[in-house]
Amino acid sequence: MKQFAILLIVAGLFSFTLTSSLKTGAPPPARKPNIVFIVVDQWRAQATGYTGDKNVQTPNLDKLASQSLNLKNAVSGMPVCTPYRASLLTGQYPLTTGVFMNDVMLDTTKTTLAKVFKKEGYQTGFIGKWHIDGHGRTSYIPENRRQGFNYWKALECTHNYNQSPYYAGNSDKKLFWEGYDAIAQTTDAIQFIKEQAQKPNPFMLFLSIGPPHDPYQTAPENYKKLYADKEIKINPNVPQEFREKATKDLKGYYAHVTAIDDCMGQVWETLKQTGIEKNTILVFTADHGDLLGAHGSWNKQQPYEESIRVPFLVHYPAVFGNTQKTSPILINTPDIMPTLLSLTNTKIPASVEGVDFSGVLKGTAKDKVTHTVISCVQPFGQWNRSKGGREYRGLVTTQYTYARDLKGPWLLFDNTKDPFQQNNLVGQPAFAETQQKLDNLLSATLKQRKDDFKPGMEYVKQWNYVVDETETVPYNKINFEGKPILE
């Protein structure tokens, strides 16, 4: 009798709750939005049709841009792979994470995007290039170093896109993606999305794609043929002596780009087919750009537009609709984590240093950010000192790029009047006032960030990194402490 009475009470409470809900018209709790975050390696912002590049074919991204929010001033604050990825996952700046060079490890005790979303009930997945483990580029990455991601098909780093290894789950057996890895990884991502779409909890998926990072001539043949006989228009900031090489490399680069554009279209179509497009935040961006001959240089690290400026599309129909919008916000890498968390109504951890731009993007807050920081703490690798590499700190505004090296003012460009940055205004009397204002602002910003702007090797020693004769962290072996060592 006692158990029967308890059942009657429970039933009564359930009936009261249901009746109250019906009377008030209160909707059931809404499922939090899913996140599909696609980040590609070394894709500069200008290399899309929707930004005006007449050389390239990106029909899917162009269509996505017509129905998305385009963050046209997105910046990679430290334009190189590992530092970007550490800042992306933690919302912190490189001098805080200690990850200011390639091939070093992000502290596993950090509060990361995946760990936060995992606590919120999200299924977290990572597919593709990781590059924040620091234990060798082909080594197995155990679960405790995956920073909160559950579903796992990843490798630290490879640029062999047609024989690309990876590890799945908790197996240390080396597997290989079939064919061109971006296509195979996209196929796996699509399967993940289809499975998660049927489940009650939201998900967050990172698809981290290796190309169009060099080698440039390794895209599938059908994409290479699109550009084989195409006349390529070279930007005016590529010196004449580098134009032949730039033309060849751009053809291969664009072939990778178009292949990834097709992948992007397939992911988007999957969101539509599964009925979850409206409540999914789909992001397309890159870790940094590629100079591709601009200013006589290749790859990244340098403070020029082709290196620091990245594409950034946000497609979230439930909040931003399906129309084209452009935002001028100066979003930097550490700002991505707090902005995504806020868009999903998730509390931002105190450890985060980036800016939450969600209110600005939704139109409920004013944009108070007038500048953002760019830096190179320690030049290495493809831009080591023998190749002109140098430490710098700088600012980007909606009009100017300013950079200072250890000797003093280095670069000042008016990007509005001089989009290819061919006229360095440092030391020109007509711009002395502008230069001084930006330099003062940079000094104040560095003080706020507690950045003493010391020579790079001082930070290398502070963090006990082992480097070779070019001041670069080797990535082929590790010692018993987990630090990279030379052959």
Please identify every residue annotated as catalytic.
81, 131
Measure the CA angle with vertex 379, ends 446 and 71; round to 5°. 60
- For residue 332, the 8-state DSSP code is B
Phi/psi-derived region of residue 385, left when phi > 0, alpha when psi is between -120 and 50, beta in every other case: alpha
Those residues with Cβ within 8 angstroms of residue 335's Cβ, 6 or more apart along the chain or in another chain: 91, 354, 355, 356, 357
The Cβ of residue 202 has, within 10 Å, a number of other Cβ atoms equal to: 20
C-alpha–C-alpha distance, residues 291 and 307, integer Å: 6
Amino acid at 303: P
Amino acid at 299: N
CB of 251 closer than 8 Å to CB of 227: yes
C-alpha–C-alpha distance, residues 39 and 264, integer Å: 11
C-alpha–C-alpha distance, residues 288 and 45, integer Å: 9
Per the omega criterion (within 30 degrees of 0), is the bond before 303 cis?
no
Q: What DSSP element (H or E) covers 435?
A: helix 432-448
C-alpha–C-alpha distance, residues 58 and 138, integer Å: 31
Short-list 202, 199, 194, 166, CA closest to 182: 166
**What is the dihedral sign for C-alpha 177, 156, 375, 362?**
positive
**What is the dihedral sign for C-alpha 67, 72, 76, 77?**
negative
CB of 444 closer than 8 Å to CB of 437: no
| Burial (CB count within 10 angstroms: exposed 0-12, middle 13-18, buried 19+), residue 420 | middle
C-alpha–C-alpha distance, residues 121 and 125, integer Å: 13
CB of 299 closer than 8 Å to CB of 290: yes
Measure the CA angle with vertex 357, ends 352 and 358; round to 5°. 105
